Amino acid sequence: MDIQNLLEDITGAVQPQIGQGQVAGYIPQLGAVDPHQFGISLVTKDGEVFSAGDAHVEFSIQSISKVFALALVLSSDGDGIWKRVFREPSGNPFNSLVQLESEDGIPRNPFINAGAIVVTDRLLSLTGDAAGAVRALMRRESGNALVDTDHRVATSELESGHRNASLAHFLASCGNLENPVDEVLESYAQQCALAMTCQDLALAARFLASNGLGAEGELVLSPAQTKRINAVMLTCGTYDAAGEFAYRVGLPGKSGVGGGIVAVVPGKCAISVWSPGLGRSGNSVAGVAALDEFTTRTGWSVF
């Protein structure tokens, strides 16, 4: 298969979707991004890289960081995190408050904001610098030592982040935070505000397509943990649109409100797409369309 040609074809095919949807205005810095951009990169499990469109433009990875924070917690702390967060789809928006109260402060899964705040809290306890740990993982796996937090985005999120603050305070009231609320929220905002390109992200996610094997030949996760993290991405990675994403794309995937999505073809490749316009559930409209094209044309889905 000529993958380079395929990515260029897909970039052409999704032109009508680029610019559709809304940019994430609830974080003011993200609201200022030009929506008329689209990038796609694919990295095979052996490390071959293909890119098209705006694949070398940096964007805010936002919730995609949650996968990498979870990987770090699972690899150093084993299954303990599952006592503090479930792994079922929520069927609710990513920043919803309602379920958390009725389920006694145990978030539905590690990818909604409440669950990710618990994961970051654990990573902060384990490392003393949760965002720094995610950044180091990203730098090592992408091979790009310049990957860094965009502090304007982190500050913008913290200044406007009343929902995450309420989730974190509620978690604390239920005894499900180990660190002070402000420290956890700051770490979480910094990890979400990492700026990366499609190519950086596809390279960084390669271990999810290669049974946990990282860029330097090290095991980022065991094969069993990799299988499980991919399963949670499939069922929970795109929030209350996870059913629609499975129907259209049929791959484990994780979106972010910066407009990025990382998807995994287990045993074959990692793909990263980016276009800032979001649909109702916070997933990139053109990004989902591109991944739909990709699995429809290649037959590379898990179904």
- Given the rule CB under 6 A, which residues bind ligand DON? 62-63, 94-95, 113, 157, 164, 192, 255-257, 282
| Known catalytic residue at 247 | no
Question: What's the closest the beta carbon of residue 162 comes to ligand DON, in angstroms?
Answer: 11
CB of 220 or CB of 257, closer to ligand DON: 257
Which residue's CB is nearer to ligand DON, number 164 or number 295?
Answer: 164
Distance CA 81, CA 181 (A): 18
Least separation, in Å, of the C-beta of 255 and ligand DON?
4
Element of type H or E holding 51: strand 49-53
| Annotated catalytic residue within 51, 65, 188, 265 | 188
Asked if residues 257 and 30 have their Cβ atoms less than 8 Å apart, the reply is yes
Structure tokens at 137: 């993982």
Q: Which of 96, 153, 184, 239 is catalytic?
A: 239
- Could you give the residue ranges of the DSSP H alpha helices within the chain? 3-13, 28-31, 65-77, 98-102, 113-127, 130-142, 151-160, 162-173, 181-192, 198-204, 206-209, 223-236, 242-248, 285-298
63, 187, 210, 255: the active-site residue = 63
How is the beta sheet containing 253-255 ordered, strand by strand?
Answer: 49-53, 39-44, 269-274, 260-265, 253-255
Q: Is 128 exposed, middle or buried (0-12, 13-18, 19+ CB in 10 A)?
A: exposed
Min separation Cβ 257 and ligand DON, Å: 4
6 versus 185: smaller Cβ distance to ligand DON: 185
The minimum distance between CB 243 and ligand DON, in angstroms, equals: 16
**Closer to ligand DON at the Cβ: 199 or 255?**
255
26 assigned to active site: no
Residue with smallest beta-carbon separation from ligand DON: 63
Looking at 51, 66, 73, 272, which residue is catalytic?
66
Q: Which residues are catalytic?
A: 63, 66, 188, 239, 257
